[in-house]
Structures are given as C-alpha cells and as structure tokens.
A and B are shown apart, each in its own frame.
Chain A
Amino acid sequence: MPDFYSRFWIIIIAAVPITLTAAEPDPLAIVRSTQTQRIVTIGAVYDSVVAVYGRSRYGGGSGVLIDDTGLALTNHHVVAALGGAGSAGLANGQLYPWKLVGTDPGGDIALIQLISAHPFRFAPLGASDRVQVGDSVMAMGNSFALAEDHKPSVSLGVVSGIDRYQFGTNRNMLVYGNCIQVDSSINPGNSGGPLFNMSGQVIGINGRATFQQRGRVNVGIGFAIPTKQIRRFLPDLMATKLCQHGTLDAVFRERDGQVICERINADSKVAKLGLSLGDRLIEFDEEPVISANQFTNLISTLPAGWPVELVFEHDGQRQARWLRLDPLPYRPPRSGGRKARPDRPSTPLAAQPKGSGPAMKPGKIMNPALNKAHCRRILRQWKSNTFRNQVQPVIAAQQDVLENDVKIGKQIVWYAADGRYRVLVLEDHADGQIATSRGWDGKTFWQESLHGNTIRVTGSNALRRSEVASQAAIGTFAKDNSHEAFETVELEGGDKADDQITYRMRVRDRTGNDILFWFSVFNAAGSFETRLIKVRAGDQADAKNRATVFSDFRRVGGVLIPHRRSVVEGLREAVVRTWLTTSVQVLDELGDGAFGPDTNTAPRAIKDSPGLAGALRPPDGPVSNGTPPRADLFDQAIHDAQLRTVRIYGAGVGHEAGYASGIIVTPDGLILTAHGIYISGKRIRVVLPDGPIHMASVVKRSDALQTVLLKIDAQTPNFFDLAQLGPPHQGDWVLTVANPFKIADGAEPLSIGIGVLAMRTELDAKRRTQDVPYDGDLLIIDAISNNPGSPGGAVVDIEGNLIGMIGKIMESTSTNTRLNYAVPLDRLKAFVTSGVAAETQHKDPVKRRATLGLRLFTLSGRRAPAYIDHVIPGSPADLSGLRKDDLIMAVDDRVVRNVRDYEQAASRLRPGQTVTLLIKRKSEILRVELLPEAVDEDE
C-alpha cells in the first residue's frame, strides 16, 4: 500500500509541531492532533471495509472483514437480495469473489468469505457493551453505491441511543434488539457496513435507517446491530448455518409494573420446567427483568439453543431453572415474494428477499466442507496459540484439589507439549494419604496405585474412560493432523461455556465416541485467538452432563496453560471439583520413559519449596486493545438534558405526527413544546423521563414563536433554568435531546444528536415560510432536528445549559429546504414570563399606507425584475432622482428579486419613514434615500 504509507508520512510530519510545542497549548495544534488520531484510525481500518456486490455491480451493500482469511460480516438483507455469491470491492480498488458462509435472517447478519491468495487487512471486533450514549462513532460503507473505486464513505457521528428495539418488518422478522442508534449518516448502501468506535474497533453492523418524508435519505437516525449480539451468532455463522433465534415459547406482558406470562405453549420446555400462566418473570440470563420490552430486547439477541437461567415466581415461590432456548420458527421466503414497502418507515435498506436467496434449511449446516475447514483452522490456531515455542518443554505443575472450596488433596502434573503427561495424586483420606499415579506416554494411558494395581488403556478406549478422556482428547488434538484421527469433526455452532461465547465442536472417533470441545475463538480485542474452554468426553457425557472447564490461562515456558480446571455439571455448570495450580516449573525435555508407568524413570517430583512459587507467572495482562481515552465531554450534558426533556403524545392526523417532545421549565410542571397537531386534541399525554404519564393542559400558546406552554399536575424537580443565559457562539457544539420517530419507548432515554450552532438569524427578515407565521430570530444548527417527534426537544450546550427548543418542522423559503433550528432561549423565556393575553394579539393596528410615486414595468409578469417604468413627476421617487429603466434591487436592505417582492416591500412603507432603495442603473449601483408620502385614502 504505497499510497497509504505516503499518506502516513505526511500525517507524521504534520504531527511534528504538536509534539514540539506541547508546552504551550495551541488550540489549533490540539485540535489537529485529535484530527490526526482520527485520520490514522481510519487509515488502519480503511482496507477492511467491503463494498458487497452481487454478480453484477449494480446495487449491493457494504461489509467489513473481521479476519485475515477473508471472513466478512454484512447484513442478511444484503446477501438475500444478491444471492449466495458475488464480488466484493476493497479500498485498494481490487474486486474479490465472495461466497456466503452463513446467515442470520432474524438478526439481519450474514457472514461471507472473500477469496484471495493473500491475507486481508481486517478490523477487530470490539465490545459493544461498553458503548455509551454520546460516544463518537464512524460509519463506513458504500452509501448510495457512490464508490466507483470501492473506497468507502466515512461519516462521523455519535451514539444517539443504546439498547433500542426495532420491530421486525418482513416475513422472518428482521428484529433489531438491543441495537445502537446513531446520528451519523447512514444511507441506502451502508447496509452491512461497520460502525467503528474511535479506536477503530467494530462495535456494530449498520443495518437500518429510518427514512420518512424525505424518501430514502438519511435523517440522522440509523441503527446498528451490536457486536455483542454478532459474537453470539458468529459460531453458527461459521458453522455455515441459517441461524435461528431463541424463544421461550411463551409470551409475556406487562401488568402492574410486573412482567407476567400471558401465553405459553404447554409442550414447551419452560412449561415442563414449571412456568405457568400468570407467573412473574424475575430474571433472565442473569439480568433482572424490568419490562416486557427489555425482556424482548434480551431474548431477541440470543441464538436458539443458548443456555439461559430463568428465574420466575410461581405461586409465590421463587424458581430458578436452566434451559436451552427453543428455536423461533423460520418461514422460508415465499416464491415471487412480496415487494418491500418503501412507504413504510424503518424498512431495511436494500431490497427484500424475493425468493431468489440461497435455499437453506434453518439450523442445518449448509456447507459441510467449509464447516470442516473452519474446524481445521480453529484447531490449527489453538495449537499454535497454545504452544508458541519452537522448543517444546515439559511443564511441571503443582495443583490443589478442591471440593466445595475445601482442599481435599493435591497433585503434581508433568505435561509435554505433545500431550504426554503424568500425574501424581496425593489425596487426604481418613486413613492417611493415598497416592496414585497415572499418565499417557504417547501410546498408552495408564493408572497405578502405590499398591501396584496398574490399568493400561490404549487408543480410542481412552476416550470412553472419564479419568483420562479429556486428556486423551486434548492429546490427540495436540498431534499433527489431529482432525484426521477422527471420523467426523464438525463445528456445531455457538454455546455458552464458563460464561463465555464459545464455538462447540463435535468430534466422533471411529468407534462412535462423541467428544465435545468448546473453544473461544475471537478474543476481547477481536483477534482470532483460540482457547480450549471446555471438554466433554467419555463418561462425562452421561446422565450428569459433566464436563471439564479450563480457565485462568497463563503462559509458561511458551505454553498457554490453564491454571484452573474444574469438573462441572449440567447447563448451570455447577462445579463438582477443581484443580488449582499453585506453582509451575519449566523442565528440560525428558526421556520417553518419563511419562511411562515405571516409577523409576518418573520425572523428579517437585517438592513444596518457596522458590517454585516464583515460577508462577502472572497471568497474561488484560488484553490490550489500544483504547484511547473516551471523550466524556458530553456525558453530563446528555444526562442532565435527558432528565429534563419529556415525550408528548396527542392526536395525529395523516402525515402529521401525533407526538413530540417537550422541555420542563419550572419545578411545578410547566412544559414548553412546539406547536403541532398533537396539542389540538383533548388528551395530551406527557411522559416524564423516568416513565410516569400525566395529562397536560394548554396554558398559553404563541403564534409568533409557534410554541405552546403546557402544565401537568406533578412536581418536576429537574427542570431547565430559563434564567441561565450564556449566548452561544457560532460553531459551538450543541446537543439535541428529543424523541424523533418516537424511538424511545416508556422510560428509555431520549435520542441525542450532536452538531454545531450554524448561525443565529432573523427568520422574518430573511425568509417567509409558507403558512407558518414564525416571527423573530432563531438558531440554525447542523444536527438534524426536523424529524417527526423532534419538535419541542431540548438544544443544550456542552455544559448542559439550555440554549433553545427544537421548533416546529419548517422549510426556509430562501432555500426551500427543511430547517434544522431551535427557538432561542431568550425568546422562550419572554414567552413563558409574558402574560397570556399579550401573546395572542401581536398584530399592529392598521396604519396609513404610503407611496414612492413610481410604477414598475409589469408586462413581463410579477416574476420579472423590478424595473421602473414610470416616475410620477414631483413624487418622492422623482425628487430623489429615480428614472425610468432603473432596476430596484433592494428596499431597506431587503432584496427585491422581482415585481412581487417590490409590491410586498411597498406595502410596508409608512409615510414619513425614510426608506433606502438600492438601484442598478446600467452597470452602476446606487443607494437612494426616499421619504414616502401618504396615500390619499379616498383614492
């Protein structure tokens, strides 16, 4: 990438003054330094953004590479529209073929494989659960398919809301649960593209945007599927499955603030576990359930088969049950298909599946060969990650054996990297210490007590015996071409093991023994790093559902060794017994006999000595993901403003939204909002930030400001102080807090947007708006605030001080575009403190009209320029020297574009009030002052 590096050098050199002049903080240098950081971050992930096309390059969406072999994430609705294969363009200008790996229609995620002989640059998957409202984010992708060269568009924005739920819109309910709402520009074509945090980690896949009234153009509201959900489905996707989402097969509703089971399938797992109608849901998947919506949010992001704990109240009794979620039924797309309805808000970005998508059966592995290839890759990576050294040492570990956290004995283990091991067990018993030895010398598993009873097991028989099965399985994997030792190796999909997202692999040997392995594959930093988390083999697979779980991984002598091993039971993974490594030592390679049953050649036993404890290395440090400090500049302002902004619901008519936002301005329940249809009905509901609903009455309204003051009968201790007056400057950051498209439901926090103050201007002087008699100046902002539901929302500065209220949706006649504006604070204050009557009567009494004594050339119509056709002798125009064919360009600095403009200006003339005309005479421009004379009213 010579281009990239040459740019990089420019960046480095541009950064030089920053480093050297750090002593005196120059604002420009500091701002440039954050800019440089952003440019470098973008440069690092630029090549990972994919323009996804079908077989032709028309249409398509976006995607992001998540590892160097070419695995890329995109939206299900993108591949559903394109089919199972196509071409993919990267920022380097190259096209690569891609094919579908797996897809999740319910979560709108698909995994595709780009094909190239060379490794790809990729973007790491980050942790979306650390995302907070107000975080800066970057959306990348091929919006509107603008990128002829496949270079993605990058747009900067902030997180407007988290844990949003968007209902499904098509046959298989493309549910967006717990999704991230952003105000960065997300447009058609961005579908499937990544949402990055400012460290360049993928925190979500952009899937949807809300378009309304402006066709398919961004209105500052996009939704991304969080990586937390994607990570749970990634194993199923890599297994080449058509993923299914989980369900309890029961419906819950909110009743009296409780989440109650309303409907239940009598044959469902939960029913058999004791859940009945009317039972109260208390906890789900370790989260307290507070609302039906939140429960839907939680369950919609879990795959079918996911183990969860359900806590509910049945007959006054608290019950805790573990179960695997049932699959939500999947309905294959209808042939012919129904057309997507573009008129409906929240439609997914690209076309809907039309039956042309790949034929798939839910939950089944679609491509066994690819599945096996992924297994091989996981095993290969596990091996290279576990044994990083070329020289494979022998590790000796001393371990305590615990049951119920009580030490019941200890043991010493010698491991070789090839899987050979030897264990000396010393168990405390009532009649003294019992020592047993067992091991594997590479061929034979053996066990002997000190009394000389020796057991020898060979080959696959070992996999059936619980004592040695897990070691035998791992040992087999540690050998080269391990997968060939088994009849079948299959990635089954995702599962939770040891509270982690794991990839469950099923291995069957030639005698039909099933062994299950749970691997963690992508680490917290998003790198492909495999660890073996859990094994179930031999007798462990029996009734008690026992398995071995490994944790506390530390690298010793180049080998990644779990320092804790537990045998666990059931879905709950209740710990039966734990082996805790207390000290570790690296030994030289030992002779072959060292791992055999002959005690004479056994490795030297490690004694408890203080020196050995030093060999226990600290665990690998917390995964470094290079996260720069988070900008929390806006946090307090967002929090404060969200506490003071309310939702308003009333009557709606046709396209006019029956909902809006409002700002609390006094502690006794006075609320300001914008004028709209929602306050015209009898019922005006105000939803306070924490959820309570109150009926409101109109106190007064202002036609001039298009603003209404409402009153609710409630105390509102959190309110905006209208007295705070710090005039904002142009270019200052402004935050909007409002409820566009009523996305925030119940007590959910309102959506935020960030922009700058674009200008303060006097609306009346510069533009007339159709049928909106707004009068006075306003604040124009560049955060999009002209969506249904936004009017009445708060506009605050970075300190959280109110600077204005989002006004009624208006167009500027100057540009004929929708304004993003706010009614300034001082005008709001004047309205709130003014008397009721003063506002309604604002029209001046009729005054006497005046004339200048000139006539315009009107033959070309009123849209023609205002040329003077005739000047009445002795009139003010004549006295000031105006002539025929002069062009009137402005009256009192108000531009006169045509005859109509002049007529409007002339109607405002008053006798005796001097007026200034701007005149063009040939190529000369003149300023002329005139004194209009009164029109004789009798004429």
Chain B
Amino acid sequence: MSKVGWALPTEMIPKDRIGAQCRQRPQVRSTTVTRGGQCPPYLLACLACVLALSCTASATSPDPNLGHRLAPSVFRHAVDRVMPAVVTIETFGGTFSLGSPSPKPTTPGTPGPPGSPSIRRFKGISQPGDGPTTGLIISPSGYILTSTYNFIRAPTIITVVLHDQSRHVARLLGRDETRGLCLLKIEPKTPLAIPTFVPRRALHVGQWAISIGLGYGGKEPVISVGIISATERIFGKAIQTDANISPANYGGPLIDIHGRVTGICVPLSPWSQDDVAAGVEWYDSGIGFAVSYPISPTWLKRLTQGHTIRTGRLGILPRSNDNPPGVKIHEVIRGSPAARAGIRKDDVIISAQHNRITDMLTLRSVLGRQHQGDTIVIQVRRGEKTITVKATLASWLAKG
C-alpha cells in the first residue's frame, strides 16, 4: 500500500480519493497475484476467490495455534512500522484544578484558549498524571494529532520528541471537542515520516487492533492487543476496541497487523461531549475508542487555522413522554437555536436532517453528528400542521 501523502494544507487529498483507494484494493490484490502466474488477472482472481472460499468454508482452514504463536512477531513488526510517526509530547507548567467552570464561548474564527477545559468529574482516576503523552504525525511538514486530554493541565509550553529523539517546540492549534482531538505543529528541518491510514469502511469487527502509547516514558512504547469491537461508535466518530486504552496511549495510534493506523486513541463518552475527561473512567476496561482519520479536508483546515470544533446544540428540553414517534418539546431555551428557528413548546420533532425521529435517542444521534455552526433542517408537528424549519446549532446555551 502506498502511503497517503498528507502535506497541509495545499497538498490535501480530497476525500473522494481515499474512497477510490479503498475501492481499488481488491484490484490491487489480484494484480499482485498475476505476477506469480501466467493467467489473465480476472481468471486468477476468480480462481483465487474459489480457493479462498474453500479456505474459509472448510472448518479446518487456519491452524489457530500457529496463528496465535506467530501473532506476537507480527504485532512487533506492525509496531515497528508505525513508530517513526509516533511522538512523545511533554508539557511544562500549566495548572490544574478540579471543578473549573466551562470555557466561555469564543467567537468563530478566533482560536479558543489553548486547553482550559472543564473537568467536572474524574471517575476511577483522581486527576491526570504528570507523565509524557503521545501524538501521531499526520503530515511531513510537522502537523501532529493528539488527544485533548493530554493538555488538560493547560500547559504553557509543549515540546515534541520525535522517534529520532530530537526535541521540538510545538504550537497548539485548533481542537475538536466532539472527537477529543487537537492539532499540534512543529517546524522540522526535514520532512517527517507519516503513517498509512485505513479508512473506517475498510475495517472489520474482529480484526486485530494494537494500541500504542508513550505515556510511560522512554523510547519504547507500551502496547496492548485486542480486536476492533465496533466500527461506528459515538455518533459515528470513533471505532471501539477491547485493547487497553488509557492515558498511557491517549493520542497514540490504534493500528492493524500491517502497521496501518485505524484510529487515534482518545477518551470518549456517548453521554458527555463537553467534558474532556469523560470516558477516562473506562480506561483499560476493554471499552476503548479511537477516532478514525482522515476526517475531512475542511475539518483539518479548520484545525490548522486554530478553530475549535464544538458540539452543536439545539436548545430544547424534551418531555419525558412515552408516546413516540417524535420528541415532544417541554421547553425551548430562550435565545437558543431552536427558539430562533421558531420551534415552540409542545411541538413534536418528527424529523431532523431528513432522518425520521422516533425518540430522544434518534434525535440525539442525529444532533451528535453535527457541530456548532451547522445548519440543520427540522420538521415539527404542531397540532395538525407539519412545519419545516432551519436551525443553526450553537455550542453554548445561556439559561434563560
């Protein structure tokens, strides 16, 4: 597999090219086969399919003992392949206090304060540790993705130690609160090694997943092996794995057995998208998340420009009723996007972004995929009438 070049921002590869690569994969495989034989590729491909079918269908195909025995060497090889793109992040200074208030909303266009997140709770973990953390190089020019959790102490200085042990001062650019990711930039003298990424739709539940982190310090990573548990979690943003994911590898990659990156390890929770530390209580529990990457060229552009991507909110309180379909509104928060869009108390939301809304969970699922500033189409039933409105989601709602 050729590496996907990710120099930024001009060299950005459009999203559809990744898709094309994905679709081409079978073809690439079959041409590899042709080199060995003399048959036309399509014939061999057919034959190969039959062979593979009989291979997978026969009950005795792979020897599980051999598969297990050889696995550690394959894991090590995969880790070795990705390590040049894995960096150690060290932070200096910074404060940390529990129960600090939510950050004030910043106007779009200006970067938010570099990591002054609210930490409302730390279940199962007293407070963030003070060790180094992990990041992943995504462009030869020095863009590095990592977990927002790693800057929970709002450090004043961030440095990055590359695989060759060279140390660089890093700038914190934008962040995506909904994915728990943020972007760092260093100025390397030579182009950096970048990993190969696997798009999410090429992933299979059950394939090996190896998490890598540098959170215990040193040159050698801490690794953990598991499988991919699900490919679409937390509003389609993350994949789920049962490999151990913890502050030791937040910001590090989750890789496959070929050493390709399937995601970036982060703490996430389906119930809280604002709390940077939400999901930390699940560390090493067999439920871990990795945000799949690449996300989109515009997403990356916003982060390089220092924007903060936040959860989009509508500003309604649903009535806890038992008569779906739809979400009946108990209260519309004054000045909220819902109020501005003309949604009223007792309206029933029946569709959002052209998805049928059956209950609060389906609405949450649709809204969870949107960000602050996104405009969504909502259909409400008001008495006998059905009304279609547009609402531009906000990140923060003043209690009216």
Interface set of A (CB-CB < 8 Å, partner B) = 7, 9-20, 25, 27-28, 30-43, 46, 55-58, 136, 138, 143-149, 151-157, 184-187, 198-199, 214-215, 217-220, 626-634, 729-733, 755-756, 758-762, 765-767, 780, 782, 784, 798, 812-818, 820, 863-866, 887, 889, 895-898, 918, 920, 923, 925
Contact = CB atoms under 8 A, between A and B. Distances in A.
A814 B130 contact: yes
21 contacts: A12-B52, A12-B56, A13-B29, A14-B29, A19-B52, A28-B258, A34-B66, A34-B68, A37-B61, A37-B62, A138-B206, A156-B227, A629-B65, A630-B64, A633-B64, A731-B79, A759-B220, A812-B129, A815-B215, A816-B125, A925-B167
Interface in B127-170: 127-132, 155-157, 159, 167-169
B282 A217 contact: yes
Given A27-B73, A30-B70, A756-B225, A20 B36 contact: yes
A634 B223 CA distance: 21
Given A10-B204, A631-B64, 10 more contacts: A13-B52, A18-B55, A28-B257, A35-B207, A43-B204, A148-B235, A813-B130, A863-B96, A897-B155, A925-B168
A85 B215 CA distance: 47
Nearest 10 pairs of A and B residues by beta carbon: A185-B286, A814-B131, A34-B67, A865-B93, A631-B64, A782-B224, A815-B247, A766-B217, A155-B242, A816-B129
Contact of B218 (A41, A217, A630, A766): A766
Contacts of B243: 782
B59 interface: yes
A185 B287 contact: yes
A43 B235 CA distance: 22
A814 B132 contact: yes
B52 A15 contact: yes
Contacts of B207: 35, 38-39
Given A15-B55, A218-B285, A731-B79, A759 B208 contact: no
Contacts of B202: 10
Interface of B is mostly: mixed
Nearest to A786: B284
A37 B74 contact: no
B189 to A, nearest CB: 12
B76 A730 contact: yes
A181 B392 CA distance: 50
A817 B75 CA distance: 24
B126 interface: yes
Interface string B184-211: 0000000000000000001011111000
A762 B64 CA distance: 34
A624 B33 CA distance: 34
A36 B223 contact: no
Contacts of B240: 146, 153
B72 A731 contact: yes
B30 interface: yes
A759 B230 contact: no
Contact of B132 (A186, A631, A895): A895
Interface centre among B33, B95, B131 (most CB of A within 10 A): B131
A732 B68 CA distance: 10
A444 B284 CA distance: 73
A628 B61 contact: yes
A815 B72 contact: no
Contact of A628 (B64, B94, B128, B232): B64
A25 to B, nearest CB: 8
Interface centre among B36, B125, B168 (most CB of A within 10 A): B125
B361 interface: yes
B242 A633 contact: no
Contacts of A897: 90-93, 130, 155
A46 B257 CA distance: 23
Interface in B256-291: 257-258, 270, 281-287
Contact of A731 (B75, B132, B156): B75
B154 to A, nearest CB: 11
Contact of A782 (B91, B128, B218, B244): B244
Contact of A20 (B51, B96, B242): B51
A155 B232 contact: no
B38 interface: no
Given A40-B56, A863-B95, A865-B157, A155 B286 contact: yes
A17 B270 CA distance: 39
B178 to A, nearest CB: 15
B217 A814 contact: yes
Contacts of A185: 229, 242, 285-287
Interface string B91-104: 11111100000000
A898 B169 contact: no
B76 A731 contact: yes
B63 A629 contact: yes
A473 to B, nearest CB: 40
B322 interface: yes
A733 B227 contact: no
A56 B359 contact: yes
Contact of B70 (A13, A31, A46, A756): A31
Contact of B51 (A16, A186, A815, A820): A16
A780 B29 contact: no
Interface in B267-326: 270, 281-287, 322
Contact of B77 (A28, A33, A814, A895): A28
A630 B25 CA distance: 32
Contacts of B227: 38, 154-156
Contact of B257 (A35, A43, A218): A35
A36 B56 contact: yes
A780 B222 contact: yes
A815 B246 contact: yes
Nearest to A147: B230
Nearest to A198: B64
A42 B229 contact: no
B56 A38 contact: no
B285 A187 contact: yes
A465 to B, nearest CB: 49
A419 to B, nearest CB: 39
A270 to B, nearest CB: 45
Contacts of A863: 93-96
A390 to B, nearest CB: 29
Given A187-B287, A897-B130, A33 B67 contact: yes
A31 B159 CA distance: 38
B365 interface: yes
B233 interface: yes
B223 A758 contact: yes
B387 interface: no
B361 A148 contact: yes
A148 B240 CA distance: 13
Contact of A215 (B64, B74, B123, B169): B123
A32 B232 CA distance: 23
Contact of B52 (A16, A629, A755): A16
A10 B92 contact: no
Nearest to B211: A782
B60 interface: yes
Contacts of B208: 31, 35
A910 B166 CA distance: 27
A759 B36 contact: no
Contacts of A152: 230
A770 B207 CA distance: 38
B50 to A, nearest CB: 9
Interface centre among B26, B52, B74 (most CB of A within 10 A): B52
B109 interface: no
B397 interface: no
A897 B227 CA distance: 35
A923 B167 CA distance: 11
A816 B126 contact: yes
